[in-house]
Structure 1
Amino acid sequence: MVVAPASGQGKTTVTAALARLLTRSGQRVRVFKCGPDFLDPHWHQLASGHPVHNLDLWLNGEGDIRARLHDAAANSDLILIEGVMGLFDGEPCAADLAVKLGIPVLAVIDAGAMAGTFGALVHGLRNYRPGLPWAGVLANRVVSEGHETMLQASVRSDERGADLAGIDAGWLGGLRRSADFALPERHLGLTIASELRDAVARLDALADAMAATSLGRLDAEGWQRWAVPFEASTPQRLAPRLQGRTVAVARDAAFCFTYQANLDTLRALGAELVFFSPLTDQPVPACNAVWLPGGYPELHTEALVRGTQCRASLAAHIAAGQPVWAECGGMMPLFDGLTLADGTRVPMWSLLPGEVAMQPQLVALGPQSWNTPRGELRGHTFHFSLTTSPMAALAQTVPGSKFGRSEAVYGQGPVRASYFHAWFPSNPEATAQLFLSEAI
């Protein structure tokens, strides 16, 4: 598991670099992401060539996590798990998962502006939580060979240190600073890999840099020192409640926040999935239900307003009483208007009454659950906008943290919409109901 003392230290960079390096060498690599993250998995999928699933003790449950890891291990040489935020941030945190499953952690620390203090951070991360399985540390954004020497000297061996193929205890190398493979960001996180023409070139540059580190030079035996055993899992069999039904899923740069596990759950429920792009004004394909996932509608308002065919076909779908589930960014274009960060109001689709306004800072973040008539459906919230609407909320989600705020679930006709991002595997029965005519 690739972890760090905080966000922005380089976990995604290192995980993607390792995945690309090992995949290029012919190894079968699977990557997972801790927490409800939509963006980092795009990079890891491009680097490894395989779908990326999310792991979260609260969202998934331990049994589901063990099953996903076991299934991946059956067809892989190596599994990498990117942590979330800092190693001990959140309830549950990445350290909880590492301890519970016995997964060794590789700490990535941005060392660009430090020397001896690096060793103190390593010591703290390694010893703060008793029983934390430890693999070692990798320095990120190293400036020079001399800088790397100082960093390595600061990492002191202790009684838990192990000599890994001649590597000094805990030290697994330094990744140099370079603009060639910096992964660009925007307000919700990393820019999606598919939006960058040079995404593969960036990954290859990362992999080349990783190959020069002690970690990048490990052979199969070196990696095997961190092997974790998992028992065989019993696959969950779902009643095919969506058998014979087609769900149309919006998928493009404006609607791109989809968990692979959510798509898999819909298919396991019997649904056929078809995809369409509102940004290119594709009409809603023939279907029984529509899913509008989250994404970045605020970056693509001009194209969405021009999309008359898409809007008209969605309006006809709603008028026919066919279900729509709209999450966060997928909900925003449905309202009358969207006010951007610069104060410009853009008229939107007017399929729901109300206004959306972008905010200068994060409005809500954290786990959420929706107590539906079909039981608890878990998920999370993460948004930079606020919505005002004359509609009364059909329901309110329950924050999974004492620091969270509930989210309204709006309902009008066959439309259900919320800032709540649902994790479908947490309750397939409730999920199926979202896409049936007698919607929740």
Structure 2
Amino acid sequence: MVRPSAKVVLISAIGSGQGKTTTTAALARKLVKLGKTVRVFKTGPDFIDPMMLERACGSVVHSLDLWMVGQVDSERMLARAALDADVILIEGVMGLYDGNPSSADLARAFGVPVMAVLDASAMAQTVGALAMGLRDFGPVHLAGVIANRIASEGHAKMVAAAMRDIPLLGSLRRQEETLPERHLGLVLPQEVDRIDAILDTMASSLELDMQAWDALPDTSFELHEHASHHILQHASQAASLTGKTIAIARDAAFAFIYPANLECLRGLGAELVFFSPLADEAIPTQADALYLPGGYPELHARTLTQASNWLTSLHAAHVQGMPILAECGGMMAITEGLVDQQEQSWPMAGILPGKVIMQKRLAALGPQAWATSQGELRGHTFHYSRFETTLTASSHTTKHSTQHSTQQQGEAIYRNANVCASYFHAYFASNPAATAALFLRDAT
């Protein structure tokens, strides 16, 4: 067993909207520019923030979560990152103590210090009170604070004076140009003009106390040299995908996919080929199965409607009995129709009866699990639409909660011939055997 180590901080806040992602991206880009090898992780289920953070640091960003990913696999990923990285940044989710498990739970599980991002735009000395509250409530090891949206040098000095025994590791000035957002979160980085220039400006605006930063201790992790990947540990239980080719839609309309899902499919032996429905590309002819991940079909409905090659190949694959997994946005794209945020109706592929209607209010959010024939497959849901259909659900996921003694019903799972569709986003590595079954003909 080896114990790799690196400088590690979990970046959290008192809640959403404080600037965690902006600060994490700015810090990652700044450290890279200083010659550091930086790896970034995201706490909890998320697709969009990791894409932005990957752009900032230059490396794939994986999810860490004590429930969905599991403590063993989370530590394995941290340990492997520590073999090569000088710095590991972990962006938290919501507020430090929100959720079960929370970001604080993850920090304590791995002995990782916390760095709090606090929005100082409407306060000064009170930032110190918030920092002490975050530290003492848990408690957690609070390594320091980065004050966000600082107005001036004098403002920063007032904040620093109020921190008492908590280091002010840095401050980030108010940004004239920020990372743009939409209903599910940040705009995808490939859709943002001048994204690298924005990240560079943010990094330059981050005043970092290098002496205090360098004084932060390293964190070590256990890495058993004989330990194999989670997928290989379950190989005897999983139907092999060796010799199978899985076509995966990947573009701005189908962008929500965990990097770990791709690793899981490859670990099961599958060859992956990617194509773009938005570019009117047909499903690759060598494909044995089709994966339509979530994304933003509602923002690209007109283009999808006119993509004749994509639609023709989809209907041919369906008629031929190709296994099709359609998650959230992927499901939306294969219904009969979609009503967008402007209440305009668009015909979709028509594989599933019914229509999807976008709404302003969040429809569902949170971790969920699907009890399959191969065991529990974990994941989450997050969407702003509803599916009106005559289909009867073949089963439902259950909501993950430690607050209720009885299980609460989650998302519907629709089975229609060779199609499996749901708003549920599965984290494949939580159950490789169940994952393999989704892409095999006549699997139960």
Counterpart amino acid of 1:254? Answer: A
Deviations, residues 198-217 of structure 1 (Å, cap 9, x unaligned)? 1110111111112x331xx3
Q: Which residue number corresponds to residue 162 of structure 1? A: none
What is the RMSD computed on CA atoms of the aligned residues? 1.4
Query: What residue number does 1:134 align with?
Result: 142
Residues 325-381 of structure 1: CA distance to partner in whole angstroms, max 9, x if unpaired?
000011101111111122222111111101110111101000000000111000000
Equivalents in 2 of 1:378, 1:80: separation in Å? Answer: 25
How far apart, CA to CA, are the structure 1 residues paired with 2:29 and 2:124? 29
Q: Secondary structure at the match of 1:63?
A: helix
Matched, 1:201 2:192: no
Tell me if the contact between 1:20 and 1:48 (Cα under 8 Å) persists in the aligned partners. yes
Q: Tell me the equivalent position of 1:165.
A: none
- Residue by residue over 1:45-73, the C-alpha shift from the partner in whole angstroms, topping out at 9 and shown as x without a partner, is 11111111000111011101110001111
What is aligned with 2:317? 317
Distance 1:405 1:192, change over 3 A: farther
Asked if residue 414 in structure 1 is aligned to residue 409 in structure 2, the reply is no
Which residue does 2:278 correspond to in 1?
A: 279
Q: Pick from 76, 79, 85: which aligns with 1:76?
A: 85
3-state SS, counterpart of residue 175 of structure 1: strand
Give the aligned residue type for 1:174: S
1:11 lines up with 2:20 in the alignment: yes
* Paired residues of 2:181 and 2:187 also in contact (CA < 8 A): yes
Whichever residue aligns with residue 66 of structure 2, its letter is L
Instruction: Measure the CA separation in 1 of the matches of 2:141 and 2:132.
Output: 13
1:218 shift after superposition: 4.4
Q: Which secondary structure state, in structure 1, belongs to the residue aligned with residue 241 of structure 2?
A: coil
Partner of 1:106: 115
Q: Does 1:152 align with 2:148?
A: no
SS at match of 2:63: strand
Question: Structure 2 residue aligned with 1:29, among 13, 30, 38?
Answer: 38
1:28 Cα deviation from its structure 2 partner? 1.1
- Residue 414 of structure 1 contacts residue 439 of structure 1 at CA under 8 Å; is this kept in 2? no
Residue in structure 2 matched with residue 326 of structure 1 by the alignment: 326
CA distance in 1, matches of 2:185, 2:56: 18
Is 1:230 aligned with 2:221?
yes
Alignment partner, residue 433 of structure 2: 429
Q: Does 1:172 align with 2:169?
A: yes
The answer for unaligned runs of 5 or more in structure 2 is: 1-9
Structure-1 residue corresponding to 2:3: none
Aligned to 1:166: none
Moved more, 114-123 or 89-98: 114-123
**Distance in 2 between residues matched to 1:361 and 1:53, nearest whole Å:** 28
Q: Name the structure, 1 or 2, with higher relative contact order (CA <8 Å, separation 6+).
A: 2
Deviations 1:239-270 (A, max 9, x none): 37000000000000010001000000000000
AA partner of residue 143 (structure 2): A
| SS of equivalent to 2:53 | helix
**Greater share of strand:** 2
After TM superposition, give the deviation of residue 225 of structure 1 in Å.
2.8
Decide whether the 8 Å contact of 1:364 with 1:405 is kept in 2: no
The DSSP-based 3-state class of the residue aligned with 1:231 is: coil
Task: Kindly indicate whether the alpha-carbon contact (under 8 Å) linking 2:396 and 2:409 is maintained by their aligned counterparts in 1.
Answer: no
Structure 1 unmatched ranges of 5 or more: 158-168
Q: 1:270 aligns to what? A: 269
- Scaled by the length of structure 1, the TM-score of the pair is 0.93
Q: Whole-Å Cα distance in 2 between the matches of residues 151 and 268 of structure 1? A: 49
Aligned residues: 422
Quick one: percent identity of the two aligned structures? 51
Any conservation in 1 of the 2:12–2:92 contact (CA below 8 Å)? yes
Cα deviation for residue 224 of structure 1 reads 6.1
Say if 2:143 and 2:216, in contact at 8 Å, map to a contact too. no
* Between 4-13 and 20-29, the greater mean CA deviation after superposition: 20-29
